[in-house]
Structure 1
């Protein structure tokens, strides 16, 4: 029974990974669960065993937000205050380079109005904002709220720069 549970968990992960790719490449509204199933090399009914299309997007977004949060948490735990902000910037640049589809997915999801998707985006962004703001405050930054806002704005510009293949939009730190 343990082996079957492990296999189900692995297949679930495979489905989410495939969904991230498919949704990022062709968009949530144009994508189908059949395309996700094909990319994951499984049957469409097996996708439905775990997800609806909407819950699959929500799960995909949660995976992408957790990646950002974990990367930022690693920086916060290891960087001295004077290197905190640049460490967070570098961590995010690494994510945009190595997990581009997850960032593209987040960008698309910003415009989707369905409540569960909107809530997943709001929760993810709120968690990132709170984590960064707390880190800036604990590092003793007098302007932690403004720096957090600027940091998030820079991240959004980083996303646009990456999505549009316009690296000249970004000024290197």
Structure 2
């Protein structure tokens, strides 16, 4: 691969990483591509070489959903059926800790009505739902669809507890 191509690919990744942080910190609507460029230590026109602001948010969301899907797939590949759900929980907890900004970004994006962003959110959530439901079904878990729904709902509560810094929401009684 030519040197410029590698550099461009790395810069694209740098822009996405910077955008995740900026959007999560100050919100999509308040954030500017100039702030993303500054965080990535590049010029604003260079950001526009790759993205519009909207396409940048869509790309950051795709990155965050792929992280969850890959983590869950690793659980499926390495867990016994009786440890599957616990494995998913631990994998998600790790993502919440190590990639907090991505989760905050997803939470914000849930309220954005722009079609490309809404589609990215729907697609990501649908992929996670399908992966979990299929894994539960293959593991022989009774009522896999309801268990999947409960699992996803609990994950949303985890997101709220993390965002609001209220771990007591997650304590089992």
Normalised TM-score (structure 2): 0.98
Aligned to 1:155: 155
Cα deviations by residue, 1:30-80 (Å, 9 ceiling, x for unpaired): 000000000000000000000000000000000000000000000001100
Q: 2:67 and 2:160 mapped to 1: Cα distance?
A: 19
Aligned to 2:145: 145
Aligned to 1:44: 44
Q: 2:99 and 2:55 mapped to 1: Cα distance?
A: 21
- The Cα shift of 1:3 comes to 1.3
Q: 1:31 and 1:164 mapped to 2: Cα distance?
A: 21
Q: 2:156 and 2:126 mapped to 1: Cα distance?
A: 14
- The Cα shift of 1:143 comes to 1.1
Aligned to 1:135: 135
Cα deviations by residue, 1:127-160 (Å, 9 ceiling, x for unpaired): 0000000000000012100100000001000000
Aligned to 1:26: 26
- The Cα shift of 1:2 comes to 1.5
| Structure 2 residues without counterparts, runs of 5 or longer | none
Count of residue correspondences: 173
Matches of residues 2-81 of structure 1 in structure 2 within 5 Å? 2-81=2-81
Q: 2:17 and 2:158 mapped to 1: Cα distance?
A: 23
Matches of residues 86-105 of structure 1 in structure 2 within 5 Å? 86-105=86-105
Q: After TM superposition, where is structure 1 displaced by more than 2 Å over at least 4 residues in a row?
A: none
Normalised TM-score (structure 1): 0.98
Aligned to 2:121: 121
Q: 2:171 and 2:10 mapped to 1: Cα distance?
A: 40
Q: 2:6 and 2:63 mapped to 1: Cα distance?
A: 18
Q: 1:119 and 1:79 mapped to 2: Cα distance?
A: 31
